[in-house]
A and B are shown apart, each in its own frame.
Chain A
Amino acid sequence: MNGFNITYIMKLSLKTASCAAGILLAIAACAPSTSEQASQQNNASAPQQGGSSEQIVLALSNSEFDDGFDPTLGWGRYGSPLFQSTLLRRNSELGFENDLATNYSVSADGKVWTVTIRNDARFSDGTPVTAEDVAFTFNKAGESGGKTDVTVLQAAIATSPTTVELRLKQPQSTFINRLATLGIVPKHAHNANYGRNPIGSGPYKLVQWDEGQQLIAEVNPDYYGDVPQIQRLVFLLVEEDAAFAAAKAGQAQVASVPQTLAVQSIDNMKLYDVKSVDNRGIMFPFVPDTGKTTPDGAAIGNDVTADLAIRQAINYGIDRKALVDGILEGYGSPAYGPVTGLPWEQKDADIEDGQIDRAKQILAEGGWSDKNNDGVVEKNGQPAEFTILYKAGDSIRQALALSVAEQIKPLGIRANVEGKSWDEIEPRMHSNVVVFGWGSQDPTEVYNLYHSKSAQGDFNNAGYYADSKIDNMLDLAVGAPTQEEAIAFWKAAQWDGQSGFTTKGDAAWAWLVNLDHTYFVNTCLDIGTPQVEPHGHGWPITANIAEWKWTCN
């Protein structure tokens, strides 16, 4: 057994490897589409990766549009619909501006919205945009079964080539959000395949979409507004670590990264720390357990969290700043309500938290004390113990659940943390504490979170919170004839000096933090002032993409 001649083995391996290599090349040559040799010079269709006013690359992780770019199915609800235009837009302060519309008015009873549109807008196939298209879009969205909800719409009718009447079943002040997010599609060119061939009147047009990989868009020269400076947008649809890698390798000029990676630094890139209303909070079941169940048979109510003292004590006892620093690396802000940073935020509802002693006092005054010295307070024999559920796979929620449980231990409250899938959480969310994340630029969310009618045994008002005064306030907000009046009512529902659903009032939730959305942006790229972004990965930053400018040469 001496002198092992490995030549034979090596030869065999070489033979196999070269066979494999041959097969490899043969297979790789069978490309799905014809691939001619690319021309040697850099032509306009393949500029350098480094970014210029001709092209920028954005690495935004998302699957926001697995099903295509059809606004009637929900495309464009976050950020800019890019290929289509909307009647109104939100500016950087989230106020409304005219976009496709030149004017809009609401009837006295709040049920008819009349919108006049401009007459110089054209779709990318040359045909003009008329009120017929607007009416078609709204009607189609109502019957499509997509992610955009216009069920309040009775009918949309074009009364002239530039005027459209949107008739609602009942007044809804929040309907204005549909005007701002529903992109207008051409009536003559809309069919089942529209999502992959989106003809619209937006600032950009779709050039190529490699599903799951990249999206290439080019500027629309016939755009009725200011033609964007950046000629070409390439979106890389990658997940977080790859987005960071792309930025680090200099191949992307904009990259959406998680907070944990935002602490890194990349050459030639600046970190944009964009405030958002993307919030996280824990929801308490509001009613005690009386044996009632939802229509699906899930239990409702939790005897511990039904107690106001417990809810308020937790709100005062948590140190939100520590959560922001420790979990979000400082890229966030404490949240005391669900609408931080939005025009309808009630700042008077903010409290000073991290006060363990005050929290203990609230508990004591509420009748909670530790009689058997086991570290957990009781009241009438009921120990202050409950389960906190969080969606598995979400590291921020996991961290929040674990940290909050840790923070309320000194108060004598024991929280057991479990991470489950939504499907396991759903039947348990009416009787246990759950970490939720919401945050929308549409105040409908507030209604759905706190109105007693919203509690139907699903995600809306899962805690079955009910207060007739608050209900009234919310109804007034939705039915308000103007946006200003609506805002006043939304604020009052949070805290009007005497009652509200935030901590000083009913403390229905313990809102914890707002995430900042962190992006690395090339120092040469001017992205203007980002809006306060809603819940959603990466895409909201494109809201003002038509105004972006490349400032270097």
Chain B
Amino acid sequence: MQLDIASFILRKLFRLVLLLIAVAIFSFVLISFSPIDPIDAYVGADMLQISPEQREIIAQRWGLDQPMMTRFVLWLRQLASGNLGMSMIFNQPVSAVIGSRFQTSLQMLAIAWFLSGALGLAMGVLAGARAGSWLDRAIRFYAYTLASSPTFWVALLLLIVFSVSLKVTPICCATPPGVLARDVTFWQRLHHLILPAATLSIIGVANIALHTRQKLIEVLNSDYVLFARAQGESLVGVIRHHGLRNIILPALTLQFASLSELFGGSVLAEQVFSYPGLGKATVEAALRSDVPLLVGIVFFSALFVYTGNTIADLTYQIVDPRIRVGRSA
């Protein structure tokens, strides 16, 4: 038994290392294809005031004048000593950039993740149970509308309605403007979390709701449900005893799949609410060819996603006995 667990963990770790290596190489390769000139991106609007000599100095400072292979090797060497490198955009160690931004956005993302999962499941079940009814139509309409709306739109709309017209939520940022960090209360932070988390939840719900609904409709059409109904089981009972177990699978899959959306996907909401998290940093890194920062974020995201997927896989085995049995067959 212990050998099993040990070998399981070893196998998983081995695959994780493989994954990280592949991801790092992938990132470097992708960036080398990118036509973006990082010096132009760094200098920005002052392009006409920077002489070619100055550009040379900038290139040297960040090692931009070397070919990609050399930079990759240098980066590996740095990594071996535990250093993720220096971000060109923020002039800070990559680990500091990721650390501070992750702290800021962790709460927002976690809330959005849980909420969209819970709400999505609930809505999917309701819609599936009452397929064809007005409730189902309403939920589907809501889901499709959201799937078709740009995130920016929803965010801005919420900002205008709740922060400007109704004045119940703040305009921006993670903390009240002008208040020193040590004076910020827990409730104030929560207050500032509402709109960004709501925006992300609202949009994330659509996917889960629709897939869950589909699965539930299927389940409700199956033979065993027919049998249960024939025996007098109510709809509620059917859902409780047969439905939920069977729809848990796509719902779980989606939940953990949406983890990867957290990185980069939240950038639009972050922009509107000035809630700078990893999303904005990721897109900036990509658009301004900040290689160390991009690879650092990708590493971090890989770790997260891998853990999530492993948990999902394990959960499949727990939730569905057929998979457990089927594997050994």
A residues near B (Cβ < 8 Å) are 1, 4-9, 12-13, 16-17, 19-20, 23-25, 27-39, 45-47, 49, 55, 57, 66-68, 70, 73-74, 77, 143-147, 149, 151, 195-196, 207-208, 210-214, 216, 232, 234, 236-239, 241-242, 245-246, 248-249, 251-252, 422-424, 426, 438, 440, 442, 444-445, 448-449, 456, 458-460, 535-536
Check if B171 sits within 8 Å of A245, measured CB to CB: yes
B contact residues around A23 at 8 Å (CB): 110, 114
B190 within 8 A of A: yes
List the 6 shortest-distance A-B pairs measured between CB atoms, nearest first.
Answer: A212-B276, A145-B61, A67-B91, A423-B35, A13-B122, A213-B173
Binary per-residue interface labels of chain B (233-244) against chain A in the complex, 1 for a CB within 8 Å, 0 otherwise: 011100110000
Check if A66 sits within 8 Å of B89, measured CB to CB: yes
B184 within 8 A of A: yes
CA–CA, A37 and B115, complex, Å: 27
Check if A29 sits within 8 Å of B186, measured CB to CB: yes
* 6 residue pairs A–B, Cβ–Cβ below 8 Å: A24-B115, A29-B186, A38-B184, A46-B178, A210-B174, A460-B48
Check if B274 sits within 8 Å of A49, measured CB to CB: no
B contact residues around A444 at 8 Å (CB): 48-49
Check if A4 sits within 8 Å of B130, measured CB to CB: yes
A contact residues around B36 at 8 Å (CB): 423
B253 within 8 A of A: no
A88 to chain B, nearest CB (A): 17
For B276, give the chain A residue with the smallest CB separation. A212
CA–CA, A20 and B114, complex, Å: 6
A contact residues around B43 at 8 Å (CB): 147
A contact residues around B49 at 8 Å (CB): 149, 440, 442, 444-445, 448
Known contacts A28-B189, A55-B178, A210-B175; is-contact A9 B273 (Cβ 8 Å)? no
Known contacts A34-B182, A36-B182, A236-B173; is-contact A9 B106 (Cβ 8 Å)? no
Check if A213 sits within 8 Å of B175, measured CB to CB: yes
A contact residues around B130 at 8 Å (CB): 4
A28's partner among B91, B125, B186, B236 (CB-CB below 8 A) is B186
Known contacts A49-B178, A55-B178, A456-B52; is-contact A423 B37 (Cβ 8 Å)? yes
Check if A251 sits within 8 Å of B171, measured CB to CB: yes
CA–CA, A388 and B237, complex, Å: 67
A232 to chain B, nearest CB (A): 7
B212 to chain A, nearest CB (A): 13
A449's partner among B48, B163, B183 (CB-CB below 8 A) is B48
CA–CA, A536 and B48, complex, Å: 13
Check if A236 sits within 8 Å of B177, measured CB to CB: yes
A contact residues around B121 at 8 Å (CB): 16
Known contacts A49-B178, A66-B90, A249-B171; is-contact A27 B159 (Cβ 8 Å)? no
Count of chain A to chain B residue pairs whose CB atoms are closer than 8 Å in the complex:
233
B contact residues around A16 at 8 Å (CB): 118, 121-122
Check if A214 sits within 8 Å of B177, measured CB to CB: yes
Check if B164 sits within 8 Å of A245, measured CB to CB: yes
For A232, give the chain B residue with the smallest CB separation. B178
For B64, give the chain A residue with the smallest CB separation. A145
Check if B91 sits within 8 Å of A68, measured CB to CB: yes
A contact residues around B178 at 8 Å (CB): 46-47, 49, 55, 57, 214, 216, 232, 234
Known contacts A33-B181, A38-B185; is-contact A77 B46 (Cβ 8 Å)? yes
B contact residues around A1 at 8 Å (CB): 235
B35 to chain A, nearest CB (A): 4
Check if A242 sits within 8 Å of B273, measured CB to CB: yes
Binary per-residue interface labels of chain B (83-119) against chain A in the complex, 1 for a CB within 8 Å, 0 otherwise: 0000001111000000011011011001100110011
A contact residues around B119 at 8 Å (CB): 17
B24 within 8 A of A: no
A contact residues around B118 at 8 Å (CB): 13, 16-17, 19-20
Binary per-residue interface labels of chain B (166-197) against chain A in the complex, 1 for a CB within 8 Å, 0 otherwise: 01001111111111111111101110010000
For B244, give the chain A residue with the smallest CB separation. A12
Question: Within B132-183, which residues are at the interface with A (CB < 8 Å)?
Answer: 156, 159-160, 163-164, 167, 170-183
A contact residues around B185 at 8 Å (CB): 35-38
CA–CA, A402 and B130, complex, Å: 51
Check if A67 sits within 8 Å of B111, measured CB to CB: no
Check if A213 sits within 8 Å of B182, measured CB to CB: no
A contact residues around B239 at 8 Å (CB): 8-9
CA–CA, A23 and B62, complex, Å: 43
A contact residues around B126 at 8 Å (CB): 6, 9, 13
Check if B271 sits within 8 Å of A211, measured CB to CB: no
User: By the criterion of a CB under 8 Å from any partner CB, how many residues of chain B are at the interface?
Assistant: 86
Binary per-residue interface labels of chain B (14-55) against chain A in the complex, 1 for a CB within 8 Å, 0 otherwise: 000000000000000000001111001011111111111110
Check if B48 sits within 8 Å of A445, measured CB to CB: yes
CA–CA, A168 and B79, complex, Å: 41
B213 within 8 A of A: no
B272 within 8 A of A: yes
Check if B156 sits within 8 Å of A241, measured CB to CB: yes
B177 to chain A, nearest CB (A): 5
Q: Which of B36, B91, B273, B280 has the most CB of A within 10 A?
A: B91
B contact residues around A210 at 8 Å (CB): 173-175, 181
For B53, give the chain A residue with the smallest CB separation. A151
For B197, give the chain A residue with the smallest CB separation. A24
CA–CA, A73 and B58, complex, Å: 10
A424's partner among B35, B51, B175, B193 (CB-CB below 8 A) is B35
B contact residues around A236 at 8 Å (CB): 171-173, 177, 274
Question: Within B203-248, which residues are at the interface with A (CB < 8 Å)?
Answer: 234-236, 239-240
B297 within 8 A of A: no
A contact residues around B129 at 8 Å (CB): 4, 9
Check if B184 sits within 8 Å of A35, measured CB to CB: yes
Check if B186 sits within 8 Å of A35, measured CB to CB: yes
A508 to chain B, nearest CB (A): 15
A212's partner among B53, B103, B274 (CB-CB below 8 A) is B274
CA–CA, A448 and B122, complex, Å: 63
B317 within 8 A of A: no
A335 to chain B, nearest CB (A): 16
Check if B62 sits within 8 Å of A145, measured CB to CB: yes
For A33, give the chain B residue with the smallest CB separation. B181
B307 within 8 A of A: no
CA–CA, A258 and B177, complex, Å: 22
Known contacts A12-B122, A17-B118, A28-B189; is-contact A46 B183 (Cβ 8 Å)? yes
B60 within 8 A of A: yes
Check if A249 sits within 8 Å of B167, measured CB to CB: yes
B contact residues around A239 at 8 Å (CB): 271-272, 274
Known contacts A195-B91, A214-B177; is-contact A35 B189 (Cβ 8 Å)? yes
B309 to chain A, nearest CB (A): 21
A contact residues around B68 at 8 Å (CB): none
CA–CA, A438 and B49, complex, Å: 10
Known contacts A143-B57, A236-B173; is-contact A24 B114 (Cβ 8 Å)? yes
B256 within 8 A of A: no
B contact residues around A49 at 8 Å (CB): 177-178
For B273, give the chain A residue with the smallest CB separation. A242
CA–CA, A196 and B189, complex, Å: 24
B263 within 8 A of A: no
B contact residues around A77 at 8 Å (CB): 46
Known contacts A45-B183, A67-B89, A248-B164; is-contact A214 B173 (Cβ 8 Å)? yes
Check if A440 sits within 8 Å of B50, measured CB to CB: no
B contact residues around A20 at 8 Å (CB): 114-115, 118
CA–CA, A20 and B205, complex, Å: 14
B142 to chain A, nearest CB (A): 15
Known contacts A35-B185, A151-B53; is-contact A207 B180 (Cβ 8 Å)? yes
CA–CA, A37 and B189, complex, Å: 12
B113 to chain A, nearest CB (A): 10
Known contacts A145-B58, A145-B60, A245-B163; is-contact A208 B181 (Cβ 8 Å)? yes
Known contacts A20-B114, A242-B172, A242-B272; is-contact A249 B177 (Cβ 8 Å)? no
Check if A145 sits within 8 Å of B57, measured CB to CB: yes
B150 to chain A, nearest CB (A): 13
